[in-house]
Structure 1
């Protein structure tokens, strides 16, 4: 997702954050990140695999290529009819994605300056809340297949740290959202909790602390003597090593 720094201008303005939902060309992000074989356009924050196969209905709908007129209207309503300047920090490996974003935002008068850093210091850089950029490409893979390990990590304002802030990169704080997170976490009915997390996803979308970009897939190869290997939908397609074994252990030379 594209995290928007809500702690200061320009993205302390909800109108400009909402404008970003329409300004971004997500199809261009798919192309820049390896194509449709590796990515689906994200329409919500929660991956559908965490909510019983049904993702939240997008609040800010429209074509995946963006809606220039809607974006321009919201930008004008925010008092920035001539556009505005903003920054993004990405790791060197994501420069192509940042350039695709730069091109799509230019359509609505947003002038994006790209800063690249080595991957080894990327999360330290965007996690320094006092010096964090306006935007950063971020994401999260849940610890286990539950939305309880996703939305709170990414959007709970109580988790924000001055340094090493690797979860809530948007620095999003909303007391009502935090209370609802606590209520859902206390639910004992998993099905009811899944539905509640999906509803909360939509509530957070309305305030737009981040732009959902992609749901990634990971192509993985295994040998012909491997049994039980499959791409687990809750861990971005990674193998579940707890169930992997050998079809014929005698063939193993390890």
Structure 2
């Protein structure tokens, strides 16, 4: 009997021990859009676009283990876009989304060429440093020296082409404070910009323009002279024209007034 009483407390403790050894497992299911920050910089723009297809800006932000370097709204040609950027050393990855909810993914950029292609297609400027531009294009981009350019500005000419522009076309890229600020699609746009930098001549420095004198119209008084006939007063007081040129044909006398033909 004593033996059974001794085993009873052990039997009562067994369920508690079993419960104490049981593990509580909480599964955190993150979005599979991006695995880690390192995987982002291991993929190019095409691979990132494939990974992000159908995803949203929120999916990207929650799946990344770090905070984005930049998260902002950029204005395009008649539309707004949400732009999320990550940087690691001299590398960058840019993700473009629609600005309207649910802010679905549009495209990604991983190189200077990707940035220029996105800028051209959507009429926006998602940002590019002069160093990244020079590093990617090297001798392909020709710097354009011009005394009109302000200090800290650099203008480059590039025979540009991308997937949407298969035939190379000259474009000009202006960098201000080491950052891309303007893109000129043709020489006319570039020249118009350079012309706008020329110093304007003030009115004070310009010689006054004198209006051309208009020729004076001389009005002579109308004078009458008697050629032939006229009243008694005209013949008495009006001057007579000597040897007048015949202005009108001499009227022919009718047969009724010709005495020779009235017989």
Interval containing the TM-score (normalised by the shorter chain): under 0.3
Larger relative contact order (Cα-Cα within 8 Å, sequence gap ≥ 6):
1
Larger Rg computed on CA atoms:
2
Structure with more strand by fraction: 2
Structure with more helix by fraction: 1
Please report the TM-score for the alignment, with normalisation by the length of structure 1.
Answer: 0.20
